[in-house]
Amino acid sequence: MRVFFLGGKGGVGKTTLACALALRLPPPVLLLSTDPAHSLADALPDPPEHITLKQLDPRAEMESYKRKLLALSSAFLSQEALRRMESLVRSLEESPGIEDVLIFEALTRELTQNNGLYENVVVDTAPTGHTLGLLKTVKNIGDLLTEVINIKEKIEKLRSYAKSKKHEQALKVLKERNERFEKFAKIVRERSAFLPVLTPDKLSLLETKRLLHSLQHFGIKVNTLIVNKVLPKSSNDPYLEKLAKQQDKYIKEIREAFPNKKVITIPMLEEEPVGRERLRTLSALLRL
């Protein structure tokens, strides 16, 4: 199974390019969205049979997460502490960064449980800030779970908790999650390609530089960049011609900023690439 992550700032065309890439790859293909404001089904309302389209739902994940968290907490907490925990869990929906945690949970399940079921997986990620938050969550939760498991095992030995099925179940859940996160990290490192998408303008270039720096920090390699919505160089409209020259300037800067990366340029299409047939036109341009 090969996994392709498409990332970048909002509005650069990640969703349409993710759909176009899914149409180009050998089947079967899983097409996923981690963006809370997902629009995969809008871009590809008529997916072919070999493409499974899934839009991760943070609300549904929240309800599932709360149930599991309370079940796990019951193994560690007294009744009084558990009642306080229930009140805390109810406030989770407003917690900063909770969407990153929920999406991460869902994404790890999708990629580890479906490993081997699909030839290719395409992930349409949220805008850069959410994506980097997701990557930080991968590392932080993995480190935290390892530490929690170590502490829990020591407590069990010291206090002879092994006789308690509830505590054994709690430890089993923690270990299962940690193993799942490790499998996910291995898939990201060994069988994934991260494809930054940008448009030929200053802000997009600056954000892509920050994105690649952060990806490098997390040990994720990037070999290819996709520059989307490139205008034709010649035009009868003076404004469009001037804008095209400006874009050309930034495309040169992109190539200079990333000299060791393959840069794919995608022209601005005459018709909005929505639906299978129009997306196939875009798909033909994605020569990775």
Could you read off the pLDDT of 164-175 as tens digits, one per residue? Answer: 555 666 667 777
Cis peptide before 28 (omega within 30 of 0): yes
pLDDT at residue 65, rounded to an integer: 77
pLDDT at residue 96, rounded to an integer: 65
Tokens 């179940």 correspond to 169
Dig out the tokens for 92 from the structure. 């989770």
Tokens 């170590």 correspond to 150
pLDDT at residue 178, rounded to an integer: 77
175 touches 201 (CB < 8 A): no
pLDDT at residue 132, rounded to an integer: 63
Contacts of 251 (CB under 8 A, 6+ apart): 200, 227, 230, 263, 265
Walk me through the domains of the chain, giving residue ranges and CATH numbers: 10-283 (3.40.50.300)
CA nearest to 54, candidates 141, 118, 130, 101: 118
- Global pTM reads 0.82
Question: In the chain, which residues have pLDDT < 50?
Answer: 141-145, 147-149, 151, 155, 158, 161-163
How many residues make up the chain in this entry?
Answer: 288
pLDDT tens digits, 112-139:
988 889 999 999 987 765 566 666 655 5
